[in-house]
Amino acid sequence: MRSLHGVIACLCAFGVLAGCGESRHAQTARAIDSVADVDLDNMAEMMLAVSDPREAVGWFRQATEQNPDRLSLQRGLARSLARSGRAEEAIPVWERVIAHDEATNEDRVQLADAHIRASNWDEARATLDAIPPTHETYQRYRLEAMLADSREQWDRADHFYEVAAGLTPRPAGVLNNWGFSRLTRGEPRAAERLFADALRHDPTMFTAKNNLVLARAAQRRYELPVMEMTQTERAQLLHTMALAAIRQNDVAVGRALLEEAIATHPQHFEPAVLALRALG
């Protein structure tokens, strides 16, 4: 009997040790999985932040195939598709994301953004209308402004552009969009102020520089404003101003600006040369 009790005790002890071993193994496995998840999320953020959009698309496609249930990877794939100019492909990915139980209102905003990039204005409107008005973000109001622009609802557009600009520490992009909106409405003086404001926030934004030149040319002010620019940028801006002058039948001014652009550019400036030849 004493021997039997000894065997049972040994077996119990062995079972306890085995249980401890399984517990440690499970804990180790979970720890490894947690580290892997963190590494995967960090890699995803890095791909979105610094990678070439086409490379990001390839990475996220492979990652989502290997981890089809990871919502963060689906989001990354949709964002990278939109960044690479493939909004039509991003839309069904965003639709899968918002069908998920853990989808957020920001996911719906991103879907609306993809629809706008694909010129699906009605779908974008419906998507934004489904988001509660309490979801007040820069991205949402930027899109609301663009939708108002598309319908020529100018007062509404101005309101949303102003709100969006106040909700971001980097408003140069939305100020540039607002300025272009005012320019297309035939308000070049107001547009000029907005482009100049955009450049105060981001002096390197060439799109705003180019738009500023167009706004000044629309007022027949054919001199470049004082702003930060490289020699190549100066030549390109002179070329832009020249074409605007020619379109307004100020041909002599346009010719002189083209000649200045060619002389300013540090290399052969083919577009300006061709434009000058066409005038001749």
Instruction: Please calculate the CA angle 204-162-50 and round it to the nearest 5 degrees.
Output: 40
Q: What is the pLDDT of residue 86?
A: 95
- Please report which helix (H) or strand (E) contains residue 272, including its range: helix 270-279
b/e code 247-261 from CB counts within 10 Å (16+ = b): eeebeebbbebbebb
Question: Collapsing DSSP states into helix, strand and coil, what is residue 131?
Answer: coil
For residue 100, what are the CA distances in angstroms to 44, 87, 109, 114, 208?
19, 20, 15, 18, 39
- 266 and 211 share one domain: no
- 144 and 223 share one domain: yes
Between CA 1 and CA 29 the distance in angstroms is 42
Between CA 69 and CA 46 the distance in angstroms is 20
- 126 and 154 share one domain: no
Running DSSP on this structure, what letter comes out for residue 59? H
Q: What torsion do the CA atoms of 102, 82, 166, 170 make, to the nearest 10 degrees?
A: 120
Number of domains in the chain: 3
With 0-12 / 13-18 / 19 or more C-beta atoms within 10 angstroms meaning exposed / middle / buried, residue 174 is buried
Running DSSP on this structure, what letter comes out for residue 226? S
Amino acid at 133: P
Assigned domain for 264 exists: yes
Per-run averaged pLDDT (10 residues), the chain, 280 residues: 45 43 47 49 79 85 89 92 94 95 95 96 96 96 97 97 97 97 97 98 97 98 96 98 97 97 96 93
Q: What is the pLDDT of residue 9?
A: 45
Assigned domain for 24 exists: no
- 142 and 212 share one domain: yes
Q: What is the pLDDT of residue 254?
A: 97
Q: What is the pLDDT of residue 47?
A: 81
Q: What is the pLDDT of residue 227?
A: 96
Q: What is the pTM of this model?
A: 0.80
Q: What is the pLDDT of residue 43?
A: 81
Last residue of a domain, one of 115, 131, 147: 131
Q: Could you tell me the residue range of the domain that residue 198 belongs to?
A: 136-228
Assigned domain for 184 exists: yes
